Amino acid sequence: MHKLPRIAVGGLAQRPGLGRLTSVLGMRANEKVPVLGQVTFSAILECDTRLRQTLRASMEYRRKGPWLDAITYTVSGEAPVTDEESGESAAPVHFGEVRALIRFKEEDVAVVCNMEEVQPDKDFPLGERNCTRLKWKVPAEVDGDWSVSAVPISHVRRVVHVVPDFAELTKRNGFKALPARYSASVQERRAMYYHENAFCPWD
C-alpha cells in the first residue's frame, strides 16, 4: 500500500461524473486516498463459472488516454429478485463504469458511475439478440449530477464489454455522428445509449 500514489479526493472528483465523490465517500476534498490503476479479481460469469479478470480505471493508460472498464455488481442487503423464466431468486445485478479504483477502509473499492437498464432497441444487432440496453443513471434528487457508487471489489461480479448504441445515435445526430466523449457536454453524454456486448471473446 505504501507504494500506491495518494491523491486528494477533491482531485479525483475532477474526473468525469465524480463531482459528488466527497459526499459518496464521506470525506473532505483535501483528504487523500491510495489510488490504483488496476485490480485483478475473481469474476463470476452468468453460468456461475469463475475466472480471473483485470479491472482497469485509468484516465491515462500508458499515456494513450482513458481506459475505464464497465462492470456488473451487487449491493449488500438488497432483496433478491425472482427470474420469471427460471423461477430462481438472486441478488439484483447493477451496471456501471468504473471511474476510479481506490484503497478505502482497508479494501479495494471501485468508484462507479451507474447505468440503468432501458427498453431494448431491436434496430441494433445486439438489441436484436437480447443484449441488455443501458443508459446513464441520473439521481432525481440531485439535478445536474451523476449517480455514483463506491463498490467494494468483493461485490464486483465481472468486467463487461459495453458499446454505444449506434442505431439510436445515427437517428438522433446523423450518420456521421460520433459517440459523446468524456469532454462532451453533460447533455450529450446523458443522451447516449449503450448495449452490453455479451459476445465479447473473453466471455
With left for phi above 0 and alpha for psi between -120 and 50, is residue 153 left, alpha or beta? Answer: alpha
Does some domain include residue 83?
no
Supply the DSSP symbol for 161: -
Does some domain include residue 125?
yes
CB contact at 8 A, 77 and 91: no
CB contact at 8 A, 159 and 73: no
Question: What pLDDT score was predicted for residue 201?
Answer: 60
The total of structural domains in the chain comes to: 1
Give the number of other CB atoms < 10 A from CB of residue 54. 11
Does some domain include residue 134?
yes
CB contact at 8 A, 191 and 177: no
Q: Which of 137, 149, 152 is nearest to 189 (CA)?
A: 137
Q: Which of 99, 102, 83, 100 is nearest to 91 (CA)?
A: 83
The answer to which of 30-44, 134-148, 185-199 has the lowest mean pLDDT is 134-148
Does some domain include residue 36?
yes
Domain that holds residue 55: 6-74+89-196
Angle at 97 between CA 94 and CA 103, to 5 degrees: 95
Does some domain include residue 81?
no
Does some domain include residue 82?
no
Side chain identity at 132, as an amino acid letter? T
Angle at 180 between CA 127 and CA 23, to 5 degrees: 100
pLDDT band at 80 (very low <50, low <70, confident <90, very high): confident
Does some domain include residue 141?
yes
- State pLDDT tens for residues 82-138: 777 677 788 899 999 999 999 998 899 999 999 999 998 887 788 888 889 999 998
Question: What pLDDT score was predicted for residue 128?
Answer: 84
The residues, any chain, with a CB within 8 Å of residue 99's CB and separated by 6 or more, are: 15, 16, 17, 18, 57, 68, 111, 112, 113, 148
Does some domain include residue 79?
no
Regarding pTM above 0.85, the answer is yes
